[in-house]
């Protein structure tokens, strides 16, 4: 497999953008969508994607789109920091299946880290309950409104 495969418009994130698959949204503009990860590694784990970019990874995106995506990542990470008060935050992005990428639509993970709590496995385990995701999302959304 190539590090940068051809973009598949039927990937799960493209379907979320088009509204074909539900998600617990945190923030949305014409360019950016942030939503809760349904297989969270930690309470408050969320994802940020560019809605118009058909980039599979970091090497496949226009620099202007990347700049707007990173501004979105910074904004959402701030909402996670202020809304959930974690002890730390990991911001992660995978490039290629051997590196752990499972969805080939460029995305950034924002993973709150809490002292004394181990992170769950990446892209594994049992899906979170929608009500639990909504409760965490409400705290993040509230913090974003105050920012």
In a domain, 6, yes or no: no
Residue 56 placed within a domain: yes
- What string of H, E and C letters represents the secondary structure of 19-53? CCCCCCEEEECCCEEEEECCCCCCCCCEEEEECCC
Share the mean pLDDT of the chain: 96
Mean pLDDT of 3-31: 96
Domain tally, the chain: 1
- How many of the other CB atoms lie within 10 Å of CB of 143? 19
**In CATH, what number is assigned to the domain containing residue 74?**
3.30.428.10
Tell me, what's the pLDDT at 49? 98
Nearest one of 147, 142, 145, 136 to 35, comparing CA atoms: 136
Q: What is the pLDDT of residues 48-68, one digit of tens each?
A: 999 999 999 999 999 999 999
Nearest to 69 by CA among 77, 90, 85: 77
Neighbours of 42 (CB within 10 A): 20
Task: Please give the positions annotated as active site.
Answer: 107
Query: Which residue range is the domain that position 38 belongs to?
Result: 12-146
Q: Is residue 120 part of a domain?
A: yes
Residue 59 lies in a domain: yes
Q: Is the pLDDT of residue 1 over 60?
A: no
| Residue 71 resides in a domain | yes
Residue 4 lies in a domain: no
> What is the pTM (predicted TM-score) of this model?
0.96
What is the tens place of the pLDDT at every residue in 69-101? 999 999 999 999 999 999 999 999 999 999 999
């Amino acid at each position: 497999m190539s590090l940068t495969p051809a973009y598949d418009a039927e990937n799960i994130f493209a379907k979320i953008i088009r509204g074909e698959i539900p998600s617990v949204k945190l923030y949305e503009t014409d360019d950016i969508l942030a939503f809760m990860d349904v297989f969270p590694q930690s309470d408050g784990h969320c994802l940020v994607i560019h809605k118009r970019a058909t980039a599979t990874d970091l090497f496949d995106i226009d620099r202007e789109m990347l700049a707007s995506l990173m501004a979105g990542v910074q904004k959402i990470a701030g909402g996670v920091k202020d809304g959930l008060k974690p002890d730390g935050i990991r911001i992660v992005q995978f490039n290629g299946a051997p590196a752990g990428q499972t969805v080939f639509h460029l995305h950034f993970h924002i993973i709150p880290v809490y002292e004394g709590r181990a992170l769950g496995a990446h892209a594994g385990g049992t899906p979170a309950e929608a009500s639990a995701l909504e409760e965490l999302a409400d705290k993040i959304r509230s913090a974003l409104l105050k920012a």
